[in-house]
Structure 1
């Protein structure tokens, strides 16, 4: 599927990739989650070319992930996360936890996040059923319906039935 076609896909993952699916965008979002708002600060921290940063920020504003606000001091602008943008926190947290678990050797330097109140790392994220069970890929069935329809009206997507448990 071509990148432009992703925004019209019925798959939420495809549509999410069409808005935030490249390394520069994830780095911008990561830094925004940690309080960076100014173009020059994004540029210094990420080390991306100005034209690429401009394009990514313009897209993030256009899709409603950032809004532009005038800075309190001076005549510069700030890129502030909207509620839609702040909701990406969970996505970045999941990527961070996956990376921590699978991409570092014990002797490597790593950045981590801690709870500001307790100083402890957050619990690992999981997909949890309504009854509290942790769900793995084998426990998930992909269904399809109109977004406004109740889940009970959804029909299974062909080829996505759960794997039998052994």
Structure 2
């Protein structure tokens, strides 16, 4: 199956990966959460080619994750995270948690602290009914309305 055809699969994980499943896309978003807003800023921060960066920024704008706008001061357009874009943050934090546990032999390179109490930010998967923390062994996938509509 071609990569583009994956966007038609009745699976929210697969469809999300079509938009976000590229390392450069995730790194662009990491930079945006770090306050980078201008094209040249992204390029300097990431060391990415202009064409590849433009492709990733265009995709994020097309999917409503970033918005391109004129700044209040200056002439260069800026890329700003939308509400939909801010919802990607827990995904990046899940990568951070996994990386700290498995890819950081000397300990976490960066602590992400809660501004109010200085506690550390982590992602937790929990049941929306009983609030118990879950692992993959606790979850059973079942067809939802999006899958049933495909049948």
Normalized against structure 2, the TM-score is what?
Answer: 0.90
Structure 1 gap ranges (5+): 155-166
- In 1: Cα distance, 2:37 partner to 2:91 partner: 20
Match of 2:140 in 1: 141
* CA displacement 1:47-69 (0-9 Å, x = unmatched): 10011101110111111111111
- In 2: Cα distance, 1:17 partner to 1:110 partner: 26
Match of 2:48 in 1: 48
Secondary structure at 1:79 match in 2 = strand
Match of 2:17 in 1: 17
Compared with structure 1, are the counterparts of its residues 82 and 109 closer, same or farther at alpha carbon in structure 2 (3 Å cutoff)?
closer
Q: Which has the higher strand share?
A: 1
4+ runs deviating over 4 angstroms: none
What is the CA RMSD across the aligned residues, in angstroms? 1.7
Residues 125-134 or 32-41, more deviating: 125-134
Across the two proteins, how many residue pairs are aligned to each other?
147
Match of 1:125 in 2: 123
1:74 Cα deviation from its structure 2 partner: 2.0
Q: Which has the higher helix share?
A: 2
Normalized against structure 1, the TM-score is what?
Answer: 0.82
Structure 2 gap ranges (5+): none
* CA displacement 1:119-138 (0-9 Å, x = unmatched): 2312x422111212121111
Of structures 1 and 2, the larger Rg is shown by 1
Relative contact order higher in (CA < 8 Å, ≥ 6 apart): 2
Match of 1:36 in 2: 36
